[in-house]
Structure 1
Amino acid sequence: MLVSLLPCLALSLAAAQTAVFMDSPADSAAACPAHFTQWTSEPHAPYSPGPLRLPTMRPPAHCRTFASPLIDQLIADVSGQITDPDIRQLFSNTMPSTLDTAVAWHTANSSAGDAPYPYTFVITGDINAQWTRDSTNQLLPLLPYVAAEHGLQALVAGLVNMQAEQMSAYPFANAYKPPRRSRLTPGENSWAKSDRVVPAFDAAKVYEAKFEIDSIAAFFKLSAAYWRQTGSAEMLDLSVWRAAVGSCLKLLARLQMPTYGAEGRLGDPVVRFARTAASATETSFGNGRGNPVRYTGMVRSLFRPSDDAVILPFLVPANAMLSVELVHLADMLDALNITDAAHTDSLVARRLAAEIRQGILDHAVYSHPTYGSVYVYETDGYGSQLVMDDANVPSLLSLPYLGFVPKDDPIYRNTRRLVLSTDNPWFFNGSDISGIGSPHTGFHRVWPMSIAVAALTSDNKQEIVEAVGMLARTTAGLGLMHESVDMDDPTNFSRPWFAWCNGVVSELIIETVRRFPGAL
């Protein structure tokens, strides 16, 4: 779809069949930043000729962590269709952010079993660990192009293999340390020393074990998206991948069960997470169990995509994402036709998807006095419902982006009006930036990600173009996206090196160029 948008790109495919993992030459290593947090915190020349004078934030070519000639050509071709010099510079900075700075380890020939398979470890940016959710979203903007470049395909396949290795052992974790064979120095999570977690895990492999169902959905999503784009599983270690899928499906089915079983007795918690913390968002109620739930068909979670604790354990947008990706997973399993066990897993995935979707419709729709029927953010099966939205994806705002409903779904339209207003307690309307924030970063802080998602789920040309302009104006003059921005002071932001949001914004710009030629 996107390749057809770019006439020059098709001509360049033959010359761009390999991507190269970059090792800095010894004589130029001194010129490379010691840490990309330093690099992304300072502007670098040359600057765009527009009024914002946005800097060039790609590191020198020999310092980049992965090189793809195809993506470089894509950047050039899309940039050629953008007349605003500041937005053109923003796109050139954000599109390759993960490739340039966050591919911490990639090998195309690591042995797994009897055959060589690629492996890739992708860090979030300034945190030296791999989140399943973040790493999936960081590479998703590259998926439309993987079939056209072997090296890019190996990079994404390597992340699928890495996630499968991690999830097969610890499907309840949300972030992982690099494997020993990578010889990377693992990041250390000082909080984790006080964690009380069930099941137990190897601290040399798991960075954090906050159970978040969107992490499992993200693993399914990357796997199925890779398979759909390439039509091949040749680079995937299917034995490990199948083990991971089986572990995840069993865990999800167990987490559909209510808190109280026969005669009102506490059932198996399945997963627990508690820690000594100053913030309630960092631990779970009930000694790590979470608040009680009744059976609805949905799957309970302990934490949100923000890594903040849920209040009511049926996290609706995460369940919505899960219901979509379980169907995609089942399609992949059926097409691969590996074993009878895989067919059984396909049936389980489809059953779970249907039960989750029905559970959302039965228990997560609220009749709001102002907006009518809306989706709630969290619920518990007892009738309690939390009306809000959080900037992190999956979110209620992102439901069409996730594929759960079309943009014109009437309940979604009502929900959208609510969450993009001050009737959402985490929507902030500032003098410089307006959008949804998160308890994770506190009051009056807007996440640029929410602005990008609002535009990606809109059909209004003016709204989309204004959103891109707002994103360009609120980078604190650094030309990259940040986690959160003070609504009245864009120079007050969190996380200068946050690769996921850069990818979402680049996806928005490509989609805007495709849908509205000349608008940017």
Structure 2
Amino acid sequence: MLHSLAVISTLLGVSSLAAAGSMAFFRNTGSSCPAHYTEWATTPHAPFSTGPLRIPSMRPPPECRSFTSAAVEKALSRISAQITDPDVRQLLINIMPNTLDTAIAWHYPGKKGKPDYPYTFVITGDINAQWTRDSTNQLLPLLPYAETDASLNTLIAGLVNMQAEQIAAYPFANAYKPPARSGLVPGENGWARGDSVHPPFDLRTVFEAKFEIDSLAAFFKLSTAFWRQQQQDADSLLDMGVWRRAVTIAVELLVQLQAPTFDSEQRLTDATVRFVRTANTPTESSFGGGRGNPIRRTGMVRTLFRPSDDSVIFPFLVPANAMLAVELRALADMLDSTGDVTIASRSRRLAEDITRGIYEFGTAEHPKYGQVFAYEVDGYGSRLLMDDANVPSLLALPYLGFVNATDPIYQNTRRMLLSPDNPWYFSNGTSGLLSGIGSPHTGFRKVWPMSVAIQALTSDDQQEIVDAVRMLAASTSGLGLMHESVDIDSANGNSFTRPWFAWCNGVVSELITRVVFEYPGLL
């Protein structure tokens, strides 16, 4: 993975548009800048690559970019120079800096010598809000370059502080609005409140209140990754008081959500979180009056929604629990070093409970593939055998650090997932455009490029990896950027969702970079 690679550049980065109150370019920072990057993303721009795909140049003009890192620019030049395929080279140039170019909606760098910490608000792309999960995955692949780039280091620290502030205020949300002090006009989400959401929230802060345990895991992941790399500067850049409060709230909440639906006398236990919404699709609300379907205690933590923002069927979402177990252990190590031994011990015990629960309740014996991981379970014996493209997913378990890619249960599961025995795996042998995993979030016959990238990131088969990169390069509908999903029955992939999806751009750039480092000459 990219975040395990050595930093390429030795130059310090220089931030542009990073002063207090600065805005992303879609707020029209210059007369030559489009009003919104979606306009730019849906029109091919010259010069085009010289390969058969003629990938356009999709970076906005330098004066319109929301943040610039000299270290990332240097790394991008060096990595792209090692790619001989002109289409893949241009694709990487477009997508590796996409979050920095387009999605840093607000960055306050703080003031040196004062207890004045940096803050960063990162939008997910074409939706004007910050998802905890997306923002972590958007900046985490760029963390290695922060070692030699003070401005990038401050930018990422600002995101840790922003996430901590948001979670300390309301840990049940999946997406947040910018703080009032940013001066940004917040995105509106008219259905966010729902009909019955518990605990209630402030619409000035929360963009959407779907509770997803991977959001908290993503906060832990970014925090601990930043701390491991920047231990010397962490105290000066991170507001540790707010961060500790957010972590304590999150861990205590996760422990509460291990509780079963009914006590030993079959009485309803207290529902820590509920979500009910009137909608024209069932995935936008929750079963059981907002509680979710019944569960028995397993050691795992229940959730109401998947990382796709769709409701779960069975509340123990196995891949999200797997991610939690990994990140809680990393969090415990960090807390030990900062002297927070009580919450560290609680985090470590919770990780052990979750892991034990996954292996005891979260696996199933498949008649064709043998023992496999289930996607969702309830502790009563019900299991859902499928996968969703959104990470955390079962396909991504090695990428998340939960198992080694050679683990026999994972290998059995992988064979099942990458076949029609996974109801959300789609392939069009006629067009050969994309084969991979989709999501109920976008419907049938729509493959997510993210799943193709994860398939390659969890493989050491060079042909499988090359095939994945080629499929991804061919899936952009001539726009040179990654989409959320692609209709594999459409001509040349011209039917897709989301022209500007920064998270997927980051994951695919992570894949291409990994291939350049680990398999020189393959691209």
Q: TM tier, shorter chain?
A: over 0.9
Aligned residues with identical type, % of pairs = 62
CA deviations over 1:10-40 (Å, ceiling 9, x no partner): 4xx24x3433335679998121010111111
Query: 1:294 is paired with a residue of what secondary structure?
Result: coil
CA deviations over 1:306-350 (Å, ceiling 9, x no partner): 00000000000000000000000011111122xxxx210000000
- Residue of structure 2 equivalent to 1:253: 255
Mapped contact 1:110–1:119 kept (Cα < 8 A): no
- Residue of structure 2 equivalent to 1:509: 512
- Residue of structure 1 equivalent to 2:152: 152
Query: 2:237 is paired with a residue of what secondary structure?
Result: coil
Question: Separation in 2 of the partners of 1:119 and 1:262?
Answer: 46
Which amino acid is 2:458 matched to? T
- Residue of structure 1 equivalent to 2:92: 91
Mapped contact 1:19–1:149 kept (Cα < 8 A): no
- Residue of structure 2 equivalent to 1:373: 371
- Residue of structure 2 equivalent to 1:388: 386
Which amino acid is 2:101 matched to? D
- Residue of structure 2 equivalent to 1:484: 485
- Residue of structure 2 equivalent to 1:518: 521
Report deviation, 1:262. Answer: 3.5
Moved more, 21-30 or 208-217: 21-30
- Residue of structure 1 equivalent to 2:434: 433
- Residue of structure 1 equivalent to 2:456: 455
Mapped contact 1:2–1:514 kept (Cα < 8 A): no
Mapped contact 2:295–2:378 kept (Cα < 8 A): yes
What is the count of residue pairs matched by the alignment? 511
Mapped contact 1:433–1:488 kept (Cα < 8 A): no
For residues 356-371 of structure 1, the aligned pairs below 5 Å read: 356-371=354-369
Question: Separation in 1 of the partners of 2:264 and 2:3?
Answer: 57
- Residue of structure 2 equivalent to 1:80: 81
CA deviations over 1:370-422 (Å, ceiling 9, x no partner): 00000000000000000000000000000000000000000000000000101
Question: Separation in 2 of the partners of 1:96 and 1:399?
Answer: 26
- Residue of structure 2 equivalent to 1:424: 422
- Tell me, yes or no, if structure 1 residue 336 matches structure 2 residue 345: no
- Tell me, yes or no, if structure 1 residue 445 matches structure 2 residue 420: no
Pair 1:415–1:54, CA change in 2 (3 A): same
- Residue of structure 2 equivalent to 1:38: 39
Pair 1:228–1:47, CA change in 2 (3 A): same
Question: Separation in 2 of the partners of 1:318 and 1:18?
Answer: 36
Over 4 Å off, 4+ runs = 1-7, 22-28
CA deviations over 1:138-165 (Å, ceiling 9, x no partner): 0111012211110010010000000000
Question: Separation in 2 of the partners of 1:189 and 1:104?
Answer: 18
- Residue of structure 2 equivalent to 1:475: 476
Question: Separation in 2 of the partners of 1:5 and 1:428?
Answer: 33
Query: 2:289 is paired with a residue of what secondary structure?
Result: coil
Question: Separation in 1 of the partners of 2:111 and 2:500?
Answer: 29
Question: Separation in 2 of the partners of 1:169 and 1:26?
Answer: 27
Query: 1:264 is paired with a residue of what secondary structure?
Result: coil
Pair 1:2–1:470, CA change in 2 (3 A): closer
Report deviation, 1:5. Answer: 7.9
Question: Separation in 2 of the partners of 1:195 and 1:236?
Answer: 37
Mapped contact 2:328–2:351 kept (Cα < 8 A): yes
- Residue of structure 2 equivalent to 1:212: 212
CA deviations over 1:227-248 (Å, ceiling 9, x no partner): 1122231200000000000000
- Residue of structure 1 equivalent to 2:304: 302
Pair 1:93–1:26, CA change in 2 (3 A): closer
Query: 2:393 is paired with a residue of what secondary structure?
Result: coil
Which amino acid is 1:242 matched to? R
Mapped contact 1:20–1:151 kept (Cα < 8 A): no
Question: Separation in 2 of the partners of 1:148 and 1:435?
Answer: 37
Report deviation, 1:194. Answer: 3.3
- Residue of structure 2 equivalent to 1:244: 246
- Tell me, yes or no, if structure 1 residue 401 matches structure 2 residue 437: no
Alignment root-mean-square deviation, CA: 1.9
Which amino acid is 1:241 matched to? W
Mapped contact 1:20–1:67 kept (Cα < 8 A): yes
Question: Separation in 2 of the partners of 1:87 and 1:111?
Answer: 41
Pair 1:269–1:463, CA change in 2 (3 A): same
Which amino acid is 1:509 matched to? I
Pair 1:191–1:5, CA change in 2 (3 A): closer
Moved more, 228-237 or 243-252: 228-237
Question: Separation in 1 of the partners of 2:345 and 2:473?
Answer: 46
Mapped contact 2:157–2:237 kept (Cα < 8 A): yes
Query: 2:84 is paired with a residue of what secondary structure?
Result: coil
Q: What residue ranges of structure 2 are gaps of 5+ in the alignment?
A: none
Query: 1:165 is paired with a residue of what secondary structure?
Result: helix
Question: Separation in 1 of the partners of 2:468 and 2:59?
Answer: 23
- Residue of structure 1 equivalent to 2:196: 196
Question: Separation in 2 of the partners of 1:265 and 1:454?
Answer: 44
Question: Separation in 2 of the partners of 1:370 and 1:27?
Answer: 56
**Superposition TM-score, scaled by structure 2 size:** 0.95
For residues 224-239 of structure 1, the aligned pairs below 5 Å read: 224-232=224-232, 233=234, 234-239=236-241
- Residue of structure 2 equivalent to 1:124: 124
